[in-house]
Chains A and B, each alone.
Chain A
C-alpha cells in the first residue's frame, strides 16, 4: 500500500495541525483587539478595529522594554558562556589525557538531571550573601555552564578524526591553539544545537528569575508576564495577550530560520 491512496489521512492531520497552532493565532490576533472584543461571546478571530494600543501601553505604562532587554542580555550571555566553557571541557574530556578525567566525566553524567527546584533555596541564600540579589549577574552566573552542554560537546568532539589534531601537534601547536583553530571551527553543528537549546532555555526560564529578581528593573519577560497576569490590580486582557506575543514571537521567528538544524539536534540528543 502506497501513501498515494491514503489522501484522506491529510484530513485528521490538518485538523490536528489547526488545533495545535490556533492558540498562537488567537494570541497574536487578540493582541490587536480592544478589551470589549476579547471578552465577547462568542469569541471573534479577526480584530474588528486592529490597533497597536496594547503594545504602546506595554512599553510606555509597563516597562516591557526593560524586561525584554533583561531577557535578551541574560540569554545572550548565558548562551555565550555555555558555548565557550562547555566546548572547552568537551574537548578536554574527548581528546586529552589528564588526572581527574574519569571523575569529572562521572560527575557530569551524574548531574545531567539535577532539577532547579533542588538548588534554588541555597542558591538564593548564596546570592543574597554575595550581595548579588536583584542584579543581572544573579540571573546569569548560575547558568553559564551546564553538564548537558559538556556532554553534548564531548559526544560530538569524540567523533572528530584524530589525524586532524595530530597534524596540528606535529606543527608544534599547543593544545589551546589546536582547540581554538582546529576543533572549534569543526564543531559548527554541535555549537548550533547547544546554542539554540541554551538560548531557548534561558529565554523561557521562570523559577529562578522569579525567585531572585524582586525588583521591576531586573524582571525578565516571563516573570513580568506571570506577575502581571496573577496580580491584584485590575488586569487588561489585551495587555496580557500582547505580552505573551512579545515573549513567544521573537523565538518563534528565530526557530523558523534555524528549524531544520535544530530539529535534527533534538533527534540526536533527545533532550529539549
Chain B
C-alpha cells in the first residue's frame, strides 16, 4: 500500500461519497420527495389552482380517503382492478407455465426460436399493441371474430359489451405479458434435477404425475415470485383502458390508475394523491406478503 491506512480509509470514504452523490441527489428530488409530498397532498385539499403555492392549502385529514371509499366510481374502478388482477394473473401464469414446460421438456429443436417468438410481445409498447388490438377485437370485421367464425362461433362485440370488455383486456394483457413469466419459469425448470424425473420414471410415474409431484413443488418459489411481480404490474394497469375503451362501456373497464389520472386531469390533486396512495398500499402489502411467504419456504 502506498498510503498509510487511515489516510487510505479517508480516501475511500471520499471516493464512495463521490460515487453515490449523483444518485442520491436525483433520487431525493425525483423519488423520495414526491413520495413524501404525495402523502402530504393526500391529506390536503390541493387543487390545480394551488400549484404555485403548495403550502397555502387546507389540511383536511382523511377526508380524501373517506371520499374515495364512498365514491361509487372509485369503487367500480377498484373492483375492475381486482377483476383484472384476480383473473389476469392466474391466466398469464398458466399460459406461461404451459409454454415453459413444453419448451423445456417437450421439444428438442427450435427451442430458442419459439422462446423468442413467445417473448416478442413483452418488449412492445402497450399503447401500440392496444391500438392494434382495438382493430383485432372489432365486432364486424375484426380478425379475432373472423377466426372464431371459422369454427362456427359468433364472437361477442368485445369492446362494446360491458360483459366482454374486461375479458378482452385481460386476454390482451395475458398475450403481452406471459413471455416474461415463461422465461423465468424456464430458468426455474432448468434447476429441477433431471435425476429426480428419471427416478420417478423408473418407479412408473407418468408425465403428469411427475409434473404434479416433482416439478410443481420445486417450482413453488418461482411461481410465487412471478405471481407477485405480475400482480404488481397488473394492479397499475392503465394504457389498455385508456387507449382501447376510455374506461367504458358503462365504466366496465375503468381502472384505479386511470381514475386517479382522470381526477388529476380535473385538477383534484389532493384526491388523486389519496387514491394513488391507496394503490401504493395494496402494492406494498402484496410485496410484503411475497417476502414473508418466501422466507417461510426457505
Name the residue among B110, B131, B277 with the largest chain A CB count within 10 angstroms.
B131
**Minimum Cβ distance to chain B for residue A70 (Å):** 14
**Minimum Cβ distance to chain B for residue A25 (Å):** 10
Identify the closest chain A residue to B187 (Cβ): A267
**Chain A interface residues toward B at CB < 8 A:** 1-4, 6, 9-10, 13, 16-17, 20-24, 26-27, 30, 38-43, 85-86, 88-89, 91-92, 96-99, 101, 104, 107, 111, 113-126, 128-129, 141-142, 144-145, 147, 150, 169-170, 172, 174-176, 179, 200, 203-204, 206-207, 210-211, 221-222, 225-226, 229-230, 237, 240-241, 243-244, 247-248, 251-252, 255-256, 259-260, 263, 266-268, 270-272
Additional 12 contacts, C-beta under 8 A, given A129-B51, A268-B187: A13-B107, A13-B114, A20-B121, A88-B23, A111-B35, A117-B276, A122-B38, A128-B51, A129-B52, A179-B19, A222-B128, A243-B131
Q: Is the Cβ of A211 less than 8 Å from the Cβ of B175?
A: no
Q: Is the Cβ of B175 less than 8 Å from the Cβ of A175?
A: no
Name the residue among A96, A99, A244 with the largest chain B CB count within 10 angstroms.
A244
What is the CA–CA distance of A98 and B283 in the complex, to the nearest angstrom? 32
Question: Which residue from A4, A85, A116, A241 sits with its C-beta under 8 Å from B108?
Answer: A4
Q: Is the Cβ of A230 less than 8 Å from the Cβ of B26?
A: no
**Minimum Cβ distance to chain A for residue B57 (Å):** 11
Residues B80-117 near A (CB distance < 8 A): 99, 102, 105-108, 110, 112, 114-117
Question: In this assembly, does B79 line the interface, its C-beta being within 8 Å of a C-beta of chain A?
Answer: no
**Minimum Cβ distance to chain A for residue B256 (Å):** 8
**Contact partners of B24 in chain A: CB under 8 A:** 104
**Contact partners of A42 in chain B: CB under 8 A:** 141, 146
What is the CA–CA distance of A6 and B123 in the complex, to the nearest angstrom? 31
Q: List 5 A-B contacts (CB under 8 A).
A: A175-B15, A211-B261, A225-B131, A226-B239, A248-B125
**Contact partners of A179 in chain B: CB under 8 A:** 19
Q: Is the Cβ of B287 less than 8 Å from the Cβ of A113?
A: yes
Identify the closest chain B residue to A42 (Cβ): B146
**Minimum Cβ distance to chain B for residue A177 (Å):** 9
What is the CA–CA distance of A7 and B236 in the complex, to the nearest angstrom? 41
Q: Is the Cβ of A248 less than 8 Å from the Cβ of B19?
A: no
Beyond A203-B125, A207-B238, A247-B127, is A85–B22 a contact (Cβ under 8 Å)?
yes
**Contact partners of B226 in chain A: CB under 8 A:** 270
Label chain B's interface by main secondary structure.
helix
**Chain B interface residues toward A at CB < 8 A:** 1-2, 9, 11-13, 15-20, 22-24, 26-27, 29-35, 37-38, 41, 51-52, 54, 99, 102, 105-108, 110, 112, 114-129, 131-136, 140-143, 146, 175, 177, 180, 183-184, 186-187, 207, 225-226, 229, 232-233, 235-236, 238-239, 242-243, 246, 257, 260-261, 264, 269, 272-273, 276-277, 279-280, 283-284, 287
Question: Which residue from A88, A97, A115, A203 sits with its C-beta under 8 Å from B236?
Answer: A115
**Minimum Cβ distance to chain B for residue A67 (Å):** 12
Q: Is the Cβ of A175 less than 8 Å from the Cβ of B35?
A: no
Q: Is the Cβ of B1 less than 8 Å from the Cβ of A170?
A: yes
**Contact partners of B277 in chain A: CB under 8 A:** 118
**Minimum Cβ distance to chain A for residue B48 (Å):** 9
**Minimum Cβ distance to chain A for residue B74 (Å):** 14
**Contact partners of A111 in chain B: CB under 8 A:** 27, 31-32, 35
What is the CA–CA distance of A176 and B13 in the complex, to the nearest angstrom? 12
Q: Is the Cβ of B124 less than 8 Å from the Cβ of A211?
A: no
Q: Is the Cβ of A122 less than 8 Å from the Cβ of B273?
A: yes
Beyond A3-B106, A43-B143, A267-B186, is A118–B23 a contact (Cβ under 8 Å)?
no
What is the CA–CA distance of A244 and B124 in the complex, to the nearest angstrom? 10
**Minimum Cβ distance to chain A for residue B145 (Å):** 10
What is the CA–CA distance of A168 and B184 in the complex, to the nearest angstrom? 37
Q: Is the Cβ of A10 less than 8 Å from the Cβ of B107?
A: yes
